[in-house]
């Protein structure tokens, strides 16, 4: 464990600071024994280009943790502005109810959102426990992307539209 003191003021300062870090919203999904499982996440990052891989951090108390810990594959669906309904139902519902909205298909045994900004299907390569979370490292086996979608972004407990941000520099 860390030498950081277990102090409520430090924890609250950390939470307050993290609320002001804008993050893309992801629907992380997997399949297990004929059931679909998924949660919203913001702790997702690209890891490597060789091999192409992502890391996903999931709280061990989350409903997805056990199914993901047993799964060979998972999908990281990058939600776009047009997927806010998915984010809202994933927040309200549990289990299969989370998939009642949206156009879901299956690829490599996992739920994939057809109109997500991007979807990354990964084979679970490593799992590493740290603190309250497990870090899942997935090697990419399939990817889909839509050029016309702006990401759904979460900032200070609200979904925001960053599509009005200054234009990207010309390539």
Ranges of each domain in the chain: 26-158
Residue 162: predicted pLDDT: 84
Bridge partners, 5 (sequence order): none
CA distance readout (Å), 160 to 19, 87, 154, 156: 13, 12, 6, 9
Indicate the pairing of strand 152-155 with strand 23-24: antiparallel
CATH topology of domain 26-158: Pnp Oxidase; Chain A (2.30.110)
Question: Which parts of the chain sit beneath pLDDT 50?
Answer: 1, 171
Residue 141: predicted pLDDT: 97
* Pair of tokens at residue 34: 């004929």
The predicted-structure confidence for 113-163, as pLDDT tens digits, reads as follows 999 999 999 999 999 999 999 999 999 999 999 888 888 989 888 888 887
Contacts of 145 (CB under 8 A, 6+ apart): 117, 118, 119
Residue 71: predicted pLDDT: 94
Residue 14: predicted pLDDT: 84
């Amino acid at each position: 464990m860390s030498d950081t003191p277990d102090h409520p003021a430090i924890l609250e300062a950390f939470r307050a600071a993290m609320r002001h870090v804008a993050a893309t919203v992801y629907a992380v999904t997997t399949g297990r024994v004929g059931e679909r499982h998924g949660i919203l996440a913001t702790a997702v990052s690209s890891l490597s280009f060789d091999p192409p891989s992502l890391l996903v951090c999931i709280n061990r108390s989350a409903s997805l943790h056990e199914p993901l810990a047993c799964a060979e594959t998972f999908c990281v669906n990058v939600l776009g502005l047009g997927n806010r309904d998915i984010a809202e139902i994933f927040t309200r519902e549990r289990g299969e109810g989370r998939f009642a909205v949206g156009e879901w298909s299956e690829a490599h045994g996992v739920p994939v959102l057809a109109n997500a900004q991007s979807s990354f299907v990964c084979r679970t390569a490593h799992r590493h426990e740290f603190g309250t979370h497990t870090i899942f490292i997935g090697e990419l086996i399939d990817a889909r992307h839509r050029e016309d979608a702006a990401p759904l972004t979460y900032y200070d407990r609200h979904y925001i539209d960053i599509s009005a941000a200054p234009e990207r520099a010309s390539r």
